[in-house]
Amino acid sequence: MPLREKMLIAGIRRAAARGIRSVGTGIGDDCAVLRVPREHEALVTTDFSLEGVHFRREWHPADSVGHRCLARGLSDIAAMGGVPLAAFLSLALPPDLPQKWVDEFIAGLLKLAKRYSVPLAGGDTAQSPYGILADIVVLGSTPDGKAVLRSGARPGDLIYVTGTLGSSVATLNRLRDGEKLRPKLHPKHFYPEPRIAVGKFLRDKKLVSAMIDISDGLSTDLGHICEESKTGAVVYADALPIADGLGDDGLQLALHGGEEYELLFTAPPNRRIPKQIAGVPITRIGEIVHSRQMKLVTPDGERTILKPAGWEHFT
Amino acid sequence: MPLREKMLIAGIRRAAARGIRSVGTGIGDDCAVLRVPREHEALVTTDFSLEGVHFRREWHPADSVGHRCLARGLSDIAAMGGVPLAAFLSLALPPDLPQKWVDEFIAGLLKLAKRYSVPLAGGDTAQSPYGILADIVVLGSTPDGKAVLRSGARPGDLIYVTGTLGSSVATLNRLRDGEKLRPKLHPKHFYPEPRIAVGKFLRDKKLVSAMIDISDGLSTDLGHICEESKTGAVVYADALPIADGLGDDGLQLALHGGEEYELLFTAPPNRRIPKQIAGVPITRIGEIVHSRQMKLVTPDGERTILKPAGWEHFT
């Protein structure tokens, strides 16, 4: 193993050492050994963060890349109503990458990990002949048989979304236009917050029938729920929680913008959904219908077909 | 999601569909949901297979790349004495990659997965602006507290290795020299067999004190056992199961060649280790000592320092 990789692994081991005892034996053996709570099932999700596909070094500071890398995995756990148990990072680095970049990347990832008490329990390292390549794996759990799937929506269920929509892709568009932005002022794009507490609350209280996180855009991700549940949906444009300051494009950005990491869920109409959960506003945006189409009711009352036109990274 | 990725995911879903029912809900949701057997701990391992680092398209046929990708993960599970429960594949592909390559890669991976009844339960796909990038995650299990670690070797323990050593790197050297080889005739390099049954037997029968798989080379991987166990080791050169036909380089290739995917383990001297387990020969090659050095006893009886000089991929 090259010295660089050894140092990286040693650094990750040190940084993660405090968290690891609680879950089992970890970094440095052939596998991490972890305990899934009794009468719980394991959740597993993997997500790439590839330079030039999911981030750009000139746009995203290293700590944001590390944060976003882990947030993608945690958000998938949230969408099942699960709690995260441990994360694993496969990381391939170009030989000329400054150590400072690596340190800040790891710091950004571990800061988010700490907030959710998720130990970094293992992974793999390699030298990359290309750009920076990361793959995050998150192991989580839910009580047996209680994971919230995409397939549980039924006609008549109401559709809800957490937080606001549209600002992550709006920030990306400004970066694309060459604007220099201060990351701390645009947290939705640079430091998105996975909705772990909301997902767990909804599952605990048996409020939801189906759930997904908005990573590809509302239209695409609602399409996934409809496809897996064999239903359609009606969305009310003027009900959407469009983020402030998006101007005339707001509706389109909210409908199709990706990387929101908000939760999109459905609930039977007799369930009382709080207006706010764990400090995050919850908005009712539509309903599930029998006919297998997605429709948008525009502010003037017209019904149009809503096509999945979610955001496809920036390749 | 681009059409190519959709087709890939659909293909993987179809191919994996038969296996998935046994473990839970799988491909196509935010996470895979899996059941870890009662009173078992979860094992998690992740391994990159990057074009130009771990394989080359001009050397390795696609089905071999798929096989080797999964074999790396399964071998880590074997080294803990575990059984694999499910695999997850993150796969990023260049847009100009022929579909035939992808199909053969997946076929090679699934053929090995089928042999060990491991469903492909999820993963991620992306377009790669670089070469072919794969990251395999394998989830396995061992009974609570019974995973075999690297850290359990004690002075006086005997050192054993499965199979033969040296031929994987010998094949690689011939590829490097520009030779055209028929992959089926060099299975140790192109289609290595993870030693799942051997690892499980050794753990079941409580025969081993420490174990690792030889991915980086005997000298390096024995070094890991010594480091984690805070011991040293003596290895007898003329005891090593050097593969046939390696000529004068045999000893060096056996000591330092990587990607063998054999198991290296230690056992207290009062344990009777079978000469063969699950059809795989087992060879005693040395012993664990108190002094924290690794030594090699050469055929003429001389003791020399054995330095970790394992193989570092072919970058």
Q: Return the domain boundaries, chain A.
A: 3-143, 150-305
The pLDDT of residue A5 is 59
pLDDT at B4: 58
Q: In this predicted model, what pLDDT tens digit does every residue of A146-199 receive, in sequence order?
A: 999 999 999 999 999 999 999 999 999 999 999 999 999 999 999 999 999 999
Whether the Cβ atoms of residue A256 and residue A312 lie closer than 8 Å to each other: no
Give the chain B residue whose CA is nearest to the CA of A45: B31
Q: Which helix (H) or strand (E) holds A236?
A: strand A232-236
Secondary-structure class of domain A150-305 per CATH: alpha beta
pLDDT digits (tens, 9 = 90+) for A88-126: 999 999 999 999 999 999 999 999 999 999 999 998 999
- A-chain CB neighbours of B139 within 8 Å are 42, 44, 139
Contact B90 A47 (CB under 8 A): yes
* Same fold yes or no, A3-143 and A150-305: no
**Which CATH fold would you assign to the domain A3-143?**
60s Ribosomal Protein L30; Chain: A; (3.30.1330)
pLDDT at A20: 42
- For residue A134, what is the nearest residue in chain B, using CA coordinates? B135
pLDDT bracket for residue A310 (50, 70, 90): confident
Q: Cβ of A45 and B32 within 8 Å? A: yes
**Residues of B with Cβ-Cβ distance to A216 under 8 angstroms:** 1
Strands (E), A83-151: 83-93, 120-127, 133-143
Residue B124 to residue A53, Cβ atoms within 8 A: no
Give residue A6's pLDDT.
56
Give the pLDDT confidence score for residue A28 in this predicted structure: 72
pLDDT at B22: 43
Between chain A and chain B, the number of residue pairs with CB atoms below 8 A apart is 211
Judged by CB atoms closer than 8 Å, whether chains meet at B31 and A52 is answered as: no
**Would you state the structure tokens that stand for residue A236, as one six-digit string?**
């009310």
Q: How many angstroms separate the CA atoms of A102 and A106, rounded?
A: 6
Share of chain A above pLDDT 90, in %: 88
The whole-angstrom separation of Cα B234 and Cα B29 is 51
Using DSSP's 3-state secondary structure scheme, residue B136 falls into strand
* Phi, psi for residue A228 in degrees, rounded to 5: -70, -30
Quick one: which of B74, B281, B111, B113 has its CA closest to B196?
B74
- The model's pTM is 0.93
Mean pLDDT of the residues in chain A: 92
Query: Looking at CA atoms only, how far is residue B176 from chain A in angstroms?
Result: 18
List phi, psi (to 5°) of A32: -80, 145
Structure tokens at A285: 């945006």
β-strands B120-127, B158-162: how paired?
A: unpaired
Encode chain B (315 residues) as per-residue pLDDT tens digits. 455 555 566 556 555 554 444 455 556 789 999 999 999 999 999 999 999 999 999 999 999 999 999 999 999 999 999 999 999 999 999 999 999 999 999 999 999 999 999 999 998 999 999 999 999 999 999 999 999 999 999 999 999 999 999 999 999 999 999 999 999 999 999 999 999 999 999 999 999 999 999 999 999 999 999 999 999 999 999 999 999 999 999 999 999 999 999 999 999 999 999 999 999 999 999 999 999 999 999 989 999 999 998 865 443
Place of tokens 């037997």: B201
ipTM value greater than 0.95: no
Which single residue is written with the structure tokens 């680095």? A93
